[in-house]
Structure 1
Amino acid sequence: MDKRQLGWERHSIDLTGPQSHVLVREPGVGSLSIGPASPGRQVDLVVAADDRIDWHVFDPFRTLSDYPWPRFITYTGSDGGLFDWARTRSIEDATWVPLLTGDRTIDARDSRLHKLRLHLTEPGGRLHLILPDRSASPHFTLELEGDLSRFSCEGVAPKYLTLAPATRRRDANRPVDLPARGVLEQVERLTLWNDPLAQPVSLCCLAHFPNLRSLTLRGAIADLDRLADHPQLTGLELRDMPDLSGLPPLATWPDLDGFIAIDIDDGVGKRLRRELNARARQRPFATHARIAKLRQPDWWAREYGRPFAAWPPRRAKAANAAFDTAQAAIAAATALAEVQAAITAFTLHFNKVKGIETTERETLADAVWQLGRADAATALGTTDALALQWFDAARDY
């Protein structure tokens, strides 16, 4: 059946020049992605990283409920006009991957942004953001991911803040200390987001957040004992945390109205259940309280053991297949040369894959590090340095 009969719409738009693009709108889809073509990632409208974009071409488009369309925008590139456009219309959810060759200041104080995600995952210049005023965006949410040292800001602190610093599996024993975040440290609601098996994020940074009332922690987090310095917390959420050592008792937070712990360390989780039951008998939580899915150590290795979880599904499937082959070869190895051959073959496989990005190269290095740490590999004399040496010698990405 013709897509037009299914309600699909085709529009010629002047995105980067006269009739430069054809926009295809699928019924019920409120999202739109714009950026350079990238292997394994589908982009709705392909533009070069430095193309100037006329964002107003989307002004005529509305949803069936007469809400401005698109509702969710993902843009990869260097054009800051998105924030000027947001002064004239509300944007529900915007994700920007800034591809900057130099430092840039973006004035978003009058931008009507409900949620902004900044993925600082590509090398480039520093980004300074003048945050939206409360009059323009009273419930503004900011999410920062990647190299946080490249970001600075001024203005009014957001209503909600998420920090997801770049971490590596190879440095699992060295906690990450977050740099000072200026005005962002005035927030009341904070989320720290991390991979469960990566190097942990240290909670020493919380000393800079005097107004903190609600905290969500996800993944590998270190220095949990520092939570005792924040007895004013009214909300605490713990998710995907294999190590809860040092976590203070729930009685540390007498005003705690909500507590959630899901997919957490089994040992501490049982302790928390006892404390939660005792607390409920004395004074029930005003909002919600839940502890679920307590996990044994082997579960984390099984569910999060592979480093390709963030890759697009098709690309991740191929990477996992190559990893399986290398892992099996190493398990059967009887000499160091056979381990080298397996890791080299794994590395060479990706020389045939187009467009390996910086973050993907780091993920592949983490995978090689993981292969080199297999019992069979270390028994034959493989070291971290040796595995990564073989990786660097074979790759051309």
Structure 2
Amino acid sequence: MDKKKFDVLVERESALNWHAFDAYTTPAGSLWPRFFYYYGNDIGFLEWSKKRAIEDFFWQPSKPADINLYAAQIRNLTVRSNNIPVKIALPSGEDNNNLGLRSLSLSGDLENFEILSENANPYIRLYPNVKRDRSVLPYRLPVFKALEKITWVDVVVEPLGQPLDCECLLQFSNLQGLNLTGNLSNVASLKKLEKLESLAIRYAPNLENFPSLNAWDNLKSFIGWNIEEITGKRLKTELKELIKSGKELEYCSVSKLRSSVWFTTEYGIPFTNWESKNAKIATKAYKTALQKIAKGKTENEVKQALVELIETINKLPNIETVEREDTSIAIQQLIEASPVKIQQETANNWFDEVRDF
């Protein structure tokens, strides 16, 4: 966890007295805290929650874990695995009363999760670790046999990272609601999810071969937001036609249509997680390089703009492995935006020649 954000620091193996929070309430009298972020291995919070409801709980264990959510009163539970096996037993649909689990979010290395369930149908959110390289083979979700009956799922990947292969979503054949965020591939397969009533696509730079909105007979709601403009214009037209036809619809919208250049150069600037002063300097240098590259007519002009960016980064303090990778991604994005075609290997050579980090 970011050391600037934690409120209490304990050893990962410490047993915690979760009842220490029992006496605390908000001025209005409701339970406090409502949200917990816990990095550690004490699963006593599950037993505690059977008597004291929790609205949101984020948990990242550091050793293999096996938990049972039967009777746990955690409305929204997020579990993150960083290469750690985690087994989660879900309450059955009959056991999951109004105070129990509403949504389960799994993040990190999803292949390390084992889900046990009998007819459980929580709202599932998936945040898989994907590569930051758009050129690699698309990512496929692991098969979650115990979740095959779920009706709602969200999947979030990076817009400028490894794409999600939408065909892997067909394992959830009962889906009525689907929210997808990020870089997608094989979107044509989504038309096989015949029970869809609600579909939302956000921050998607590539929607080539996306199905017609008429492909889903039960569709009542469609949202396309910050999506690539070519397919987005078609979907906007189709949505207008559906409205004119008198089809019964709930909230629908197609907006913020974006060019491929926007995703690369505006949304995807890779320095946003740096220390604030370094981030500001690097981002300014990135945008300056982009302006020069956009006007460039020769390979040498593009090279000079990249060299100036790298030299600016050279002067910043505390540039380590992660920052080096971010700068490499910035170089890749800039040559993609260049009107002069530059080979990635050539740009990498320039990067290695100039950088001193």
Q: TM-score with structure 2 length normalisation? A: 0.82
1:370 correspondence with 2:333 = no
1:48 & 1:145 partners in 2: Cα distance? 23
RMSD across aligned C-alpha pairs, in angstroms?
3.5
1:19-73 Cα offsets, whole Å, 9 max, x none, are xxxxxxxxxxxxxxxxx662xx321222233332111100111122322111111
Aligned amino acid, residue 114 of structure 1: R
Which of the residues 123, 138, 154 maps onto 2:116?
154
Counterpart position of 1:315: 275
Number of aligned positions between the proteins: 343
Residues 196, 242 of structure 1: 8 Å contact kept:
yes
Q: What's the CA shift string for 1:246-293, capped at 9, x where partnerless?
A: 110011011111111111111111111211111112233342111222
Gaps spanning 5+ residues in structure 1: where? Answer: 1-35
Which segment drifts farther, 135-144 or 45-54?
135-144
Q: Supply the distance in 2 between the matched residues of 1:127 and 1:111 (Cα, whole angstroms).
A: 17
* Residues 1:127 and 2:89 aligned together: no
CA contact (8 A) 1:269 1:294 kept: yes
The answer for the alignment partner of 1:103 in structure 2 is: 64
Q: Distance in 1 between matches of 2:126 and 2:347?
A: 29
2:34 aligns with one of 37, 47, 71: 71
Residue of structure 2 in register with 1:142 after alignment: 104
1:48 counterpart residue number:
11
Deviation per CA, 1:294-330: give whole Å up to 9, x if none. Answer: 2222222233222244x3xx72552452465588799
Shift in alpha-carbon separation, 1:342–1:242, aligned structure 2, 3 A: closer
Matches within 5 A, 1:229-268: 229-268=192-231
1:197 deviates by 1.2
Q: Which of residues 76, 83, 106 is equivalent to 2:46?
A: 83
Unaligned runs of 5+ in 2: 294-299
- Counterparts in 2 of 1:339 and 1:224: CA distance versus 1, 3 Å: closer
Whether 1:93 and 2:56 are equivalent positions in the alignment is yes
- TM-score in terms of structure 1 length: 0.74
Q: Cα deviation per residue 1:101-152 (whole Å; 9 max; x = unaligned)?
A: x3221222221111011233x4x42111122441374552011222111212
Query: Could you say which residue in structure 2 is the equivalent of 1:115?
Result: 76
Instruction: Please give the alpha-carbon distance, in whole angstroms, between the structure 2 residues aligned to 1:348 and 1:252.
Output: 54
Tell me, in whole angstroms, the C-alpha distance in 1 between the residues paired with 2:2 and 2:230: 46
Alignment-derived partner of residue 296 in structure 2: none
CA distance in 1, matches of 2:66, 2:121: 18
- Return the alpha-carbon distance in structure 2 between the equivalents of residues 250 and 206 of structure 1: 18
Deviation at 1:198, TM superposition (A): 1.2
Contact 2:236 2:254 in 1 (8 A): yes
What amino acid maps onto 2:208 in structure 1?
S
2-side partners of 1:363 and 1:385: how far apart? 15
Deviations 1:63-86 (A, max 9, x none): 223221111111122222222211
Give how far 1:390 is off.
Answer: 8.2
Q: Which amino acid aligns with 2:158?
A: D
What is the one-letter code of the residue matched to 1:77?
G
Query: Which residue of structure 2 lines up, in the alignment, with residue 62 of structure 1?
Result: 25
